[in-house]
Amino acid sequence: MALVGTKKMFEMAYNNGYAVGAFNVNNMEITQGIVEAIVEEKAPLILQISRGAREYASMSYLKGIIDVAVAENPDIPIAMHLDHGDTFETCKQCVDDGFTSVMVDASSKPFEENIAITKKVVEYAHAHGVVVEAELGQLGGIEEDVVGVSHEDIAKHLTNPDEAVEFVEKTGCDSLAVACGTSHGAYKFKTEPTLALDVIQKIADKLPGYPLVMHGSSSVLKEFKDLINKYGGDMPDAMGVPESAISEAVKMAVCKVNIDTDLRMALTAKIRQVFAEKPREFDPRKYLGPGRQAIKDMVKHKLQILGCSGKAAECM
């Protein structure tokens, strides 16, 4: 089947109490690892492409890789999503390039300006059959060119539930990324995080049936942090979002959970391990292959946490 949008995915996720994994892709091996896990688990899939990914690999290469994944797996619904589009022009270009979903992120702007930019993107995207995710409130941390608020200020920038209602009504966006205490990157927190799950619940109560999104939701899994550090890395303070908190959020109205850092860590950990154990190795297939397998195993684990394994058929 062809690429799909996320509307049916989110409708089924909301009604049946699970979330769809949205995984960032930068190259062939990362995409293959994700897709192989999805196929084995029979889950719906959102493949996200950031500005950094487009600059690194070019849109034509990434689109070609995703087109192959779609053609080879007709029983799996796959959406191609723009992650953190910061301008109308960026979102428009991605709609024109064949994305089935785009995110406009004007969350750093004043409330009314965020509404105006988002509404403009929604009008263009909807006219071309593309769904739109927007963001209200600000996360912490750093991810590529997305710079959030400081760790100390995260609690001051949580999404206001009353503003969320006004924002959705005025923009017509199809889903909303909310700030609930999560953070971008591997160094998300200095101490064990406590998510503002009450914020998610309040928004869900005020917007019944409406899909919410969690960004900055990688867990910085200990097994990969330990491997990276064992084989020459230095990530002693890396800390992510507990998977137990993600599971709680999914029980509310969170229908999409973004995962990027965990992919990078899985790939990097295995490459470091191969180089350490086989210092004469120079064949990319011999270290990218294990990295791809690590991504696959990690994604399968995440799908279980999100509860979307076995849900592909109902999202077609």
Q: How far is CA 119 from CA 134, 173, 209, in A?
A: 10, 7, 21
Lookup result for tokens 């909301």? 14
Active site residues: 83
Sign of CA dihedral 122, 7, 4, 295: positive
What dihedral angle (degrees, nearest 10) is formed by the CA atoms of 248, 210, 239, 226?
A: 80
Q: How many Å apart are CA 83 and CA 173, to the nearest integer?
A: 15
Q: Are 19 and 13 in contact (CB under 8 A)?
A: yes
Q: How many Å apart are CA 254 and CA 257, to the nearest integer?
A: 7
Q: How many Å apart are CA 120 and CA 92, to the nearest integer?
A: 10
Q: Where are the beta strands (DSSP E) in 151-290?
A: 175-178, 183-184, 212-214, 254-259
